[in-house]
Amino acid sequence: MNDRAISKICLVIILLGILIFALTYEPEFKDKKISELATKEGEKGIIFARVEHVIKKSPITQAIITDGNKATIYFPKQSDINKNNFIRAYVISEAPGDNNQANLYAYKIMVEG
């Protein structure tokens, strides 16, 4: 087998792998509401919500957010969110806290607008 034939075989295998990946890829985080995340622990999603109250900004960020339902969000870094900011957050749900309010752990928070 010469180098040209081996190169063609490798190209076909690579293109086939890219095609299979493109057809079967499913994103880890999908747009969800707080009520959907609160039903199951370990559920992942992207939420868009308004900051109702900032509990703590440093060294971690804790805030109460709402999109019609309330949730407490924990972010392991300092952030610049303020009351009434709209945020988009990549979160994972944790066990419900007081008053069955959802607890969310944020991987990333982006202030919108």
**By the 8 A CB rule, do 93 and 42 touch?**
yes
Phi, psi of 52 (to 5 degrees): -90, -35
Q: Is residue 24 part of a domain?
A: no
pLDDT at 11: 96
Q: Is residue 16 part of a domain?
A: no
What CATH number is given to the structural domain containing 53?
2.40.50.140
Q: Is residue 52 part of a domain?
A: yes
- Name the H helices within 25-113: 34-38
Q: Is residue 53 part of a domain?
A: yes
Residues 17, 22: Cα–Cα separation, whole Å: 9
Phi, psi of 6 (to 5 degrees): -65, -40
Query: Number of structural domains, the chain?
Result: 1
Q: Is residue 75 part of a domain?
A: yes
Q: Domain of 65?
A: 34-112
CA distances from 71 to 5, 49, 52, 111 (A): 59, 10, 10, 17
Q: Average pLDDT across each block of 10 residues of the chain; the chain has 113 residues. List them in order.
A: 90 96 92 87 92 89 91 91 93 79 91 84
pLDDT at 98: 65
Q: Is residue 4 part of a domain?
A: no
Q: Is residue 91 part of a domain?
A: yes
pLDDT at 80: 87
